[in-house]
């Protein structure tokens, strides 16, 4: 019997098979959960979600506009009919106008800020509010955040400010829903190549930085975020709420570049060696290089 046998959940935010929400949904399905899915309005997004959700026997596949209170209410009414009482909800939703995300936060527009906060932050409160009446035996709500809400990550810009607000929302919602035995937590994942991540500037450089600096000397795999999500929606995490769980190979604990300096030095010398062995030898012997 699977870890989630008999459990039922609703997944917001699957865009395709590379989505973090899908990694969690796949793990949940493998452990016996019955699932419903929402998708962005539009035939293209519906086809993408149906491609992955129908083969695992999804009980519900429906569009959802999280900027509409009425549409979110409609989705949960459908989920109640298709699934009955819910045990968990995955919220993997974030959006901001590309032109605002890809410029310094200082230059973000008022309208872009409002839209990004509405979709990326307020939607968690809205989804949680409508989920609560259907989670009659308690349960788990999990959202996806990022380290850019805790520290400045160049290139993350407006979305970093949104993630900071999302992190605070997790804590306040955990307090509000705690008496109902509904837990609210977030996963702060390292860089994962997704459709949403393509809008963030310098994504590849960011992933490379994790490989250089994280204590485990690598970036994460998508499946590792799925496993963390499985833990948070299962009864194994029954005493955990209001937490930001980092799944980033330890990157968040670092206070300096750590071993990255030596790695960069080695890569640099290897490139010089390939084109100018004499210069590479000189650099290895140079006291200034050794002090780096």
Please, what is the angle between helix 277-285 and helix 260-275, to 10°?
Answer: 150
How do residues 108-145 score in pLDDT, each as one tens digit?
A: 999 999 999 999 999 999 999 999 999 999 999 999 99
Q: Annotated catalytic sites, by residue?
A: 146, 156
Per mean pLDDT, which range of 145-154, 245-254, 278-287 is the poorest? 278-287
* Whole-number percent of the chain with pLDDT over 90: 78
- For residue 73, give every residue at least 6 positions away whose Cβ sits within 8 Å of its Cβ, in sequence order, or none: 130
Residue-wise pLDDT for 45-76, tens only, equals 999 999 999 999 999 999 999 999 999 999 99
pLDDT (0 to 100) of residue 196: 54
Is domain 8-253 annotated with CATH 3.40.50.720? yes
Task: Indicate the average pLDDT of the chain.
Answer: 90
**pLDDT value for 211:** 85
Q: For the chain, give every domain's residue range.
A: 8-253, 260-290
């Amino acid at each position: 019997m699977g870890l989630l046998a008999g459990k039922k959940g609703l997944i917001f935010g699957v865009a395709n098979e590379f989505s973090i929400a899908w990694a969690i949904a796949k793990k949940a399905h493998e452990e016996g959960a019955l699932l419903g899915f929402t998708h962005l309005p539009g035939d293209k997004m519906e086809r993408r979600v149906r491609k992955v959700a129908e083969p695992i026997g999804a009980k519900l596949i429906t569009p959802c506009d999280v900027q509409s209170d009425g549409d979110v209410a409609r989705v949960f009414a459908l989920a109640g009919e298709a699934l009955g009482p819910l045990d968990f909800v995955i919220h993997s939703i974030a959006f901001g106008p590309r032109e605002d995300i890809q410029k310094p936060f200082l230059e973000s527009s008022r309208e872009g800020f409002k839209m990004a906060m509405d979709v990326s932050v307020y939607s968690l409160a809205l989804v949680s509010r409508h989920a609560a009446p259907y989670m009659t035996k308690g349960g788990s709500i999990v959202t996806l955040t990022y380290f850019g809400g805790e520290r400045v990550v160049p290139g993350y810009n407006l979305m970093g400010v949104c993630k900071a607000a999302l992190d605070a929302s997790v804590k306040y919602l955990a307090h509000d829903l705690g008496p109902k035995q509904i837990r609210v937590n977030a996963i702060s994942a390292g860089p994962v190549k997704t459709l949403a991540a393509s809008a963030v500037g310098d994504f590849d450089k960011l992933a490379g930085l994790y490989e250089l600096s994280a204590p485990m000397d690598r970036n994460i795999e998508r499946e590792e975020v799925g496993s963390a999500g499985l833990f948070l929606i299962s009864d194994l995490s029954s005493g955990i709420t209001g937490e930001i769980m980092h799944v980033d190979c330890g990157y968040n604990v670092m206070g300096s570049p750590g071993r990255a300096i030596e790695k960069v030095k080695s890569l640099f010398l290897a490139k010089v060696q390939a084109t100018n062995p004499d210069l590479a030898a000189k650099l290895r012997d140079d006291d200034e290089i050794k002090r780096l």
